[in-house]
Structure 1
């Protein structure tokens, strides 16, 4: 064996289906071999992972960077978002090319893709369709050829990003034969708007009442409707940020019937509840869907632990308190979303793996392997094996920390996990074989990110 560029020695290498103590040889940004400990040749650089877990770098399937909604734009760019991501053990983000008013689908994707090389980790993209016109099909054909095979659709946010059922169905029917899949934000907009009107008439629709304005029924109703469209189209479908066990159960039932339906949960819906809306800063927790009751959160966690959820994302939206406070009095015009690209993995690892609720292999599957597979990035991403990118997150499972804004790297003045004690942290992170974080210090000498083109999801589409 020739001298590797890098050898990671002595760690417990964790994939979604195995744990093995091994040395990892890396050359030209790829894993070239896994050997028995001590059997790898000397490398030009070496990392001692003794006593550590070596995980595939996280793949965040749901991350908004520089996202504009209404009059508000999130505060981070690719350098800021990806620096935060790698500190949290994530080495690939999947961002969204969401069109502004009058912008073509393909142009929104190209606008976001142009930023990829400014980042410190790799990125892929979802497109977004709002309205179907005579050019949409050709644009999707072009994007699939360019490595964008997933398309986001919203069933809410009238006059912004909401797509009607005809648009959702046409997108499904066009995309599936190309090896693509739709990702859907499911809340029945009619129910949401009517509920918001009722809450407003009661006299208080401020941030402290956000959880009252977007009921659980709205989510389940929209999931059921979209599942019916997907069944009619014979198309796969992925549901973002599912926040209730009832919504997850609908997707589980579809899978039990042989349909290709997948659901994502995000960390804040798994670890926070609606009591935050009664706390000092309710505006900081305004997100859609909102935080749910403690009982609902427990039900969602149970679905996660028993395999009902396919992936864990962040739904990272980096607003700050000042932006949130501007319209705190009326949640209908507030910016929705929480910062989370950096805390996704550490909080989830502590909550589920360190606590003994989840095996680390399942954690890898939920946060790296299946997100990579459902975004057309596997086996390049989400796997530690010869030929895969050397995206490695070396974790100290016993390291502890108190989450605090002052020690994080996101472009905001708060974290929803302020003061939370966590156990298990990434200490060294490699992106394609290059250390960007080493012993918890940021060591990247320049932007290292690439746009990673997705391959068609034939294993998903044909399985259906």
Structure 2
């Protein structure tokens, strides 16, 4: 079936213009004024609305086995919720247990994701090191469409990567033309602080941010940046939450280093007072890492997003219900880390970004879609409104409103971190692969319709980077032995 989106204003990261968009066979076929609808085509009236690329959430964790339980959201419910909010693609994470083959874990996650109703891709985490990991990374990059590898600098005694393995994996990424990404928190410091705080008798959720102060994030971000600088990698740092991390990224970028930063919608809008809520369940529902920060960090994050120090927005969507959070009722270190947001990211960013003048509509498109597509090498297939691109689109009603609530959201979790927030600016229609899957409050999705999206490596680009690095190296010093003298 073909589709004509008529009468809207097309918004991309580069321009805004009045145009119709014609879609057929899952692709954008034409963008222009006064396009004719072929016989039998569905027509969507976008008058007074914006037509934008569908959102790309580059950081989700559907169905994740973690901290003794499994995230409540699976790939079907999670991608459906994303579509309801205007997000048409996610990049999730394969996280192998230590000593588990990366390929075995990848195949397992691909199996779980077959139920997805929107397109998806995977970052793959390096949680240990061996010759087999080295080889698996090559297979994933060359044959499985993986061009990014994740490194957890936190979660000691679980999935934390020591510096020795971080260096080896970064070097392998450079060989493959893949981007290393990091969760930047000093895991040794976090573990030490957790034990000290528990000794003081602090066992509730308020202990969580105390054990992960901004300094542990800033230190790890700077360490990863300097490792990448020496190896010669670009670097992507996920969920930056504080001034210390922003300063490290800004300094590196000022020195000409290719460092890309991500920020979560939650960190832009929620502060650490939630951990002192009198209701334990509410406080525990907000436990995630890095934690929500003191309020003054929010303006710093917004300015970094506006200035280009931060490039993408995400959710770190990883849902655990109240009974799962209760695993840590007597010990905050055992509360499963994670919150939701894949359905709400676009609306809260529009309301608090575009609605306040912090972002233009074009900047909104860049930080919710285009930048992720470019950084992870799927642009212009994704993140654009152009002929030949996938017909993943959102028709955005800037006057539409919604009050966010766990009672009405589509996410499979019993709490919403944006509970009670009324937003102006919502999707009236979401189009995935050329099909209208969300229309005026009604979701019409097909289980298993989502496709795995290959992301090619940047090998040719990295070859040029390596040549530049070689030219920067000082010439070897020629020394004459005493015997020759």
The TM-score by the shorter chain falls in which range?
over 0.9
**2:109 match: secondary structure:** helix
1:454 and 2:452 correspond = no
For 2:155 and 2:35, the matched residues in 1 are separated by 56
For 2:463 and 2:52, the matched residues in 1 are separated by 29
* Preserved CA contact (<8 Å) 1:173 1:233: yes
1:334 is matched with: 335
* Preserved CA contact (<8 Å) 1:23 1:39: no
Deviation readout 1:8-57 (Å, 9 max, x if unpaired): 11111111111111111112111111111355656622211111111101
**2:418 match: secondary structure:** coil
- What is the total number of aligned residue pairs between the two structures? 461
1:90 is matched with: 87
Unmatched tracts of structure 2, length 5 or more: 466-485
1:315 is matched with: 316
* Preserved CA contact (<8 Å) 1:116 1:122: no
Indicate how the Cα distance of structure 1 residues 463 and 442 shifts in structure 2: closer, same or farther if over 3 A, else same.
Answer: farther
For 1:293 and 1:445, the matched residues in 2 are separated by 41
Unmatched tracts of structure 1, length 5 or more: none
Report the more deviating stretch, 41-50 or 76-85.
41-50
Pairs within 5 Å for 1:263-278:
263-278=261-276
TM-score, with length taken from structure 1: 0.96
CA-CA distance at 1:110 after TM superposition: 1.5
For 1:17 and 1:341, the matched residues in 2 are separated by 25
1:400 is matched with: 401
Pairs within 5 Å for 1:34-73:
34-38=31-35, 44-73=41-70
1:106 and 2:103 correspond = yes
CA-CA distance at 1:149 after TM superposition: 1.0
1:411 is matched with: 412
For 2:52 and 2:32, the matched residues in 1 are separated by 16
* Preserved CA contact (<8 Å) 1:236 1:460: no
1:424 is matched with: 425
1:299 is matched with: 300
* Preserved CA contact (<8 Å) 2:117 2:446: no
For 2:296 and 2:27, the matched residues in 1 are separated by 44
* Preserved CA contact (<8 Å) 2:98 2:128: no
TM-score, with length taken from structure 2: 0.92
Indicate how the Cα distance of structure 1 residues 257 and 158 shifts in structure 2: closer, same or farther if over 3 A, else same.
Answer: same
* Preserved CA contact (<8 Å) 2:37 2:43: no
Deviation readout 1:296-350 (Å, 9 max, x if unpaired): 2222222222222110011000111111122133221210010111111111111
CA-CA distance at 1:427 after TM superposition: 1.4
Q: Pairwise CA RMSD of aligned residues?
A: 1.6
